[in-house]
Amino acid sequence: MKKRNAVLILGIVSIIILITVQVIILRGVYQGKSEMFNLRYRLYSQDALTAISRRFSTDGFDTARMMINNYSEKASREIAAMTDTAKLSAKRKDVIFFVNKVLNQEQDLSQFLSDYFERRRIDKNFNHKIVVNYFELINNDHRIPIFISEEYATRLPGRRDTVQRGGPQGGFRPLRHVSEILVKSDRSETNYYRLDFDYFIDFRDKQKVVMRETAASLFLSTLSIIVVVILFLITYKNLMEEKRLSNLKTDFINNMTHELKTPLSTITVAGKTLLLPQIRGNDGKIVETARMISKQSVHLNQLINMILEISMWERTQFQIDKKKVKIEDFLRDIVESFRSGGGNGATITQNYNFTNPEIELDAVYITTLINNLLSNAVKYCDKEPVISIEGFSQDNNIHIRVADNGIGIGKNDQKHVFDKFYRASTGNIHKYKGLGLGLYYVKKIAEAHGGDVTVSSKPGKGSIFTVTIPY
Ligand code: ADP
């Protein structure tokens, strides 16, 4: 039990580690693909920029720069004349708002890029973003810093306090986003302003494209995890099965010792009895004891033969010798000899309805099969046994059904009763003697005839065994 838990825990931990490692690797692959995507589009954009400036002699920001210049001329004068700090701060915000709006609305670069990408038949579904890093107004060579982004500020430590800082209040994001592609960093200066901004593009379908490129790795990785999990489950199941078989074998050896010891000790006692002087003159007692010895020897012999036979089946194919028999007469004979043998005291009813009176089967084996079912019906019964045997033909098969009013078999045990050495645990294992071979034998014989055996049962309500044999 402890070993089983250790194996289970170890297996689960290894699978969790495997999944974690796969996730880390996949994340790396995704990031790599994502960076490759950015690099590719950065190169396309650079290409596009060169082509655009060659063709149109502009970078797409000429109109914006002109408007900012005109606006700055006026604004720089106004700001230079202001003394009220509150008003100054409001004006600064207005200025940067205007610069930002003009840059976004009056630029033609996005259109140029989109056309260029379309011509190249590559993805053109992108959003642009312009991030102003620095803006200052110039009034007669006097520089008035208006805005500086956080990132830019760290590059220019001396200018921090004097200017409007980036961040939420400035309306600009200070840090570049990793998924965005920097296409152009621009710096321009006239008599009235100095501007430093970055132009980014961001592809709407990027995630989809990268996911598609990662799909193969994702698929293989998931597959490898599934294979490992399946392998683990199979190994674990085999381990459990081995453990179960080893327990069954141990039980079998205990049961077999017990089974063999009973007739053997009877024979030993009977032998000693025969040696007693007071027995010698009593013919009746001698005959009775000799009979007992003979009966127990036969039983012992049967037990040993059964074990030998089963171990022989393991090595060679099950050999059956089929002969035509009149099925109803055949079954009635078996039941009658059972009644006069081990079946003493049991009420047995028979009901046959075979449409084919004859069938080919191995009479010796089928007799053993029926006897095993009948003796189990008597053995696993804690009251007066009532057994009913039914036989009928259906769908090219004959069905033989043995129903009893015995202790029944639990759902879990039903799955295993036909296994070799299996004995349903009834608490007291020696209450019902046996080796766990009877039903195994039944199944083997039925299968050797091309048929099968099934059980349906409820604990306390009796059991029904149905043997099917094709004809
Ligand atoms: P054995 O009788 O030697 O134990 P079997 O292979 O004949 O071995 O039966 C396997 C197990 O199935 C038995 O241990 C018993 O628990 C259960 N079993 C078989 N037949 C019956 C029955 N008619 N009623 C209840 N339990 C049964």
Per residue in 350-364, pLDDT (tens digit) is: 999 999 888 999 998
Mean pLDDT (the chain, rounded) = 87
Give me ligand 1 centre to Cα 309, in Å: 19
User: How sure is the predictor about 464, in pLDDT bands with cuts at 50, 70 and 90?
Assistant: very high
Give per-residue pLDDT as tens, 310-322. Answer: 777 777 777 888 9
Tokens linked to 84:
């009220």
Q: CA 175 to CA 171: how far, in whole Å? A: 12
- Name which residue sits closest to atom 8 of ligand 1, judged by CA: 436
- One-character DSSP codes across 281-337: T-HHHHHHHHHHHHHHHHHHHHHHHHHHHHHHHHHSPPP---EEEEHHHHHHHHHHH
| HSE-CB of 38 using CA atoms within 13 angstroms | 16
User: How sure is the predictor about 141, in pLDDT bands with cuts at 50, 70 and 90?
Assistant: confident
Q: How far is CA 351 from the centre of its chain?
A: 49
Q: CA 342 to CA 327: how far, in whole Å? A: 22
Q: What is the mean pLDDT of residues 298-321?
A: 81
Among 35-39, 166-170, 455-459, name the most confident range. Answer: 455-459
| HSE-CB of 319 using CA atoms within 13 angstroms | 4
Residue 440's closest CA among 450, 448, 432, 428?
448
Q: What is the mean pLDDT of residues 12-38?
A: 92
Give me ligand 1 centre to Cα 256, in Å: 15
User: How sure is the predictor about 158, in pLDDT bands with cuts at 50, 70 and 90?
Assistant: low
Q: What are the structural domains of the chain? A: 58-204 (no CATH), 323-470 (3.30.565.10)
Q: CA 370 to CA 453: how far, in whole Å? A: 12
Asked whether the predicted pLDDT for residue 280 surpasses 90, the reply is no
pLDDT at 405 (0 to 100)? 94
pLDDT at 432 (0 to 100)? 78
Asked whether the predicted pLDDT for residue 388 surpasses 70, the reply is yes
pLDDT at 191 (0 to 100)? 92
Give me ligand 1 centre to Cα 381, in Å: 11
pLDDT at 200 (0 to 100)? 92
Asked whether the predicted pLDDT for residue 118 surpasses 50, the reply is yes
pLDDT at 156 (0 to 100)? 60
Q: Coil, helix or strand for 124?
A: coil
User: How sure is the predictor about 160, in pLDDT bands with cuts at 50, 70 and 90?
Assistant: very low
Tokens linked to 118:
């379309």
Q: Which residue has the tokens 């110039």?
A: 138
The answer to whether 441 and 369 are in contact (CB under 8 A) is: yes
pTM confidence score: 0.56
Q: At what angle do helices 438-448 and 363-379 cross, to 10 degrees?
A: 150
Give me ligand 1 centre to Cα 316, in Å: 26
User: How sure is the predictor about 169, in pLDDT bands with cuts at 50, 70 and 90?
Assistant: very low
The answer to whether 204 and 160 are in contact (CB under 8 A) is: no
Edge-to-edge, what's the strand order for the sheet holding 142-148?
A: 164-165, 142-148, 126-139, 193-203, 181-189
What percent of the chain has pLDDT above 70?
93
Give me ligand 1 centre to Cα 359, in Å: 28
Asked whether the predicted pLDDT for residue 329 surpasses 70, the reply is yes
pLDDT at 157 (0 to 100)? 53
pLDDT at 168 (0 to 100)? 39
Q: What is the mean pLDDT of residues 414-433?
A: 77
Q: CA 66 to CA 426: how far, in whole Å? A: 98
pLDDT: which is higher, 339 or 170: 339
409 CB near ligand 1 (under 6 Å)? yes
The minimum-distance atom of ligand 1 relative to the CA of 435 is 3
The minimum-distance atom of ligand 1 relative to the CA of 408 is 25
Give me ligand 1 centre to Cα 376, in Å: 6
pLDDT at 357 (0 to 100)? 83
Asked whether the predicted pLDDT for residue 246 surpasses 90, the reply is no
435 CB near ligand 1 (under 6 Å)? yes
| Range in 153-162, 190-199, 220-229, 292-301 with the lowest mean pLDDT | 153-162
Asked whether the predicted pLDDT for residue 121 surpasses 60, the reply is yes
pLDDT at 228 (0 to 100)? 92
Burial class (CB in 10 A: 0-12, 13-18, 19+), 327: buried
DSSP class of residue 148? Answer: E
Q: CA 129 to CA 200: how far, in whole Å? A: 5
Tokens linked to 89:
């701060």
What percent of the chain has pLDDT above 90?
54
Burial class (CB in 10 A: 0-12, 13-18, 19+), 141: exposed
The minimum-distance atom of ligand 1 relative to the CA of 402 is 23
